[in-house]
Amino acid sequence: MLPLLLLGVAALAIILERLWSLRRAEVMPPKLGSEVRTWAARGQLDPAHIESLRRNSPLGALLAAALDVRHKPRDVIRERLEDTGRHLVFKMEKFLSALGTIASAGPLLGLLGTVVGMIQMFLGILDHGLGDVNQLAGGIGKALVCTATGMIIAVPALMFHRFFRSRIAGYVIEMEQEATSLLDALDNSRTAAQPASAVAQAAAARVAAARPTPAAPLRD
C-alpha cells in the first residue's frame, strides 16, 4: 500500500501542476497573435519587442522564432517554426510520461499486493489450518484492497493523461494557425514595401534624367 500511496501523491502533484501550466492564458494569451501582426505591419520589430515576446508564452516563443528569420524565404521560416514547435511541445508534455507510467503501473502494483497478501494468507492456512471462515474472508478482503487502490489511482491518472495530450494537440493546431497568419502578414508587408521602393527608384531615375548633361570641352 505504501508504494501505491506514493504513486497517488505523485499523480496528484503532476495533475495539479499541469492544470496550472497548461492554462489557455498561460500558453496562448488572448489577442497576442493580432498584436504581433500589428507590430509586423507597422514595422515595430526591434530586438526588445521580439525578446519580450519570446518570454511571454509558448505562443510568443513560436512567433518570436518566426520574427528572428523574417527576412529569409518562407521555407526557411517554416523550418524554424517546426524546430521551435517540437521544443515547445516537449516542454508542454513535461511530466506526462510519468503520469502515463503511473496509470499503467498502478493496477499492476495493486494486483501484486493482492497476490502477495493471498500467498501469505494461504501459507498461514497451511501452517495453522483453516480456522475461522469469517477471518479468512476478512483476510481476502484486505488483500483485494490493494487492487482496488491501484485502480482508483490509475483511472484518474489515465483520464488526465489523455486530457492533457488532447489539450496540447489543440494548442499546437491553434499555434500553427497563428504562425501562418503571421507569415501572411510578413508577406503582405514585403509586397507593400516593394512597390514603394520601385516608385522611389523610378523617381530617382527621372531626377537623374532631368539633370543637364555637362557640355563637352572645346578642342583646339
User: Tens digit of pLDDT for each residue in 175-190?
Assistant: 999 988 888 888 777 6
Question: Residue 141 has what pLDDT?
Answer: 77
Q: Is the residue at 20 inside a domain?
A: yes
Question: Residue 197 has what pLDDT?
Answer: 46
What sign does the dihedral 169-172-178-49 (CA atoms) show?
positive
Containing domain of residue 136, as a range? 2-209
Q: Is the residue at 179 inside a domain?
A: yes
- What is the spatial distance between Cα 162 and Cα 153, in angstroms, rounded to a whole number? 15
Question: Residue 196 has what pLDDT?
Answer: 44
Q: Is the residue at 97 inside a domain?
A: yes
Between 23 and 120, residue with greater pLDDT: 23
Q: Is the residue at 215 inside a domain?
A: no
Of the chain, the end-to-end C-alpha distance in Å amounts to 116
Which residue matches cell numbers 478482503? 141
Q: Is the residue at 162 inside a domain?
A: yes
Q: State yes or no: pLDDT of 164 exceeds 90.
A: yes
Tell me the per-residue pLDDT of 79-117, one tens digit each, with 9 for 90 and over: 999 999 999 999 999 899 999 999 999 999 988 888 888
Q: Is the residue at 219 inside a domain?
A: no
pTM for the model: 0.77
Question: Residue 134 has what pLDDT?
Answer: 65
Domain count, the chain: 1
- What is the spatial distance between Cα 171 and Cα 207, in angstroms, rounded to a whole number? 54
Closest CA to 40 of 183, 178, 186: 186
Closest CA to 99 of 20, 12, 5, 22: 12
Q: Is the residue at 195 inside a domain?
A: yes
